[in-house]
Amino acid sequence: MSAAEEEQRSAAAAGGEEERRERGGGLVSGLVDKAKGFVAEKVAQIPKPEASLERVAFKSVSRQGIELQSHVDVNNPYSHRIPICEVTYTFKSAGKVIASGTMPDPGWIAASGSTKLELPVKVPYDFIVSLMKDLGGDWDIDYVLEVGLTIDLPVVGTFTIPLTTEGEMKLPTFRDLF
């Protein structure tokens, strides 16, 4: 047998071996994809905590600005408490971000129950001047409050529950303050 024939045979054998590997790899790849789909489906069916966000209300006036508040109600379907990693918020009015912040490690969600978190929103005075344009004659502010509640679930991992509320908030008059 000549060297050229031997080289062709070895190339054909190598090509057949590669083809078998590709078919086998496709089988393994297909099984892995099915397993991923199965796990994703099961994780999607796991009950997760649910949350709701109350409207924004005026709380107080200080030297630094005004303080608003909202409450986040979180329901826990599990028989053990769940840690809350953080709560982030963005308060907007007239398309502008007025205040934003983060509450790191605000606590735990009670086991098999509901937990109410107070969300303080501090608005500095310099932003209040820009809000005056939105007041008009009815002394209210149109707002949007976006909140991200990040919790840590065993098995599932860390995930964020997005919440949004919008509405009109009546500002207090001088009579209300004194």
pLDDT at 154 over 70: yes
- pTM score, two decimals? 0.66
- pLDDT(57) > 80: yes
Q: Does residue 57 fall inside a structural domain?
A: yes
Looking at the chain, the whole-number percentage of residues with pLDDT higher than 90 is 8
Which residues span the domain enclosing 155? 47-176
The DSSP element (H or E) to which 39 belongs, if any, is helix 3-45
Does residue 41 sit within a domain?
A: no
Q: Please check whether residue 160 lies inside any domain of the structure.
A: yes
Interatomic CA distance for residues 174 and 19, integer angstroms? 83
Position 123 scores a pLDDT of 83
4: phi then psi, degrees, rounded to nearest 5:
-65, -40
pLDDT at 23: 52
Q: How many domains does the chain have?
A: 1
- pLDDT band at residue 134 using 50, 70 and 90 as cut-offs: low
Residue 35 lies in a domain: no
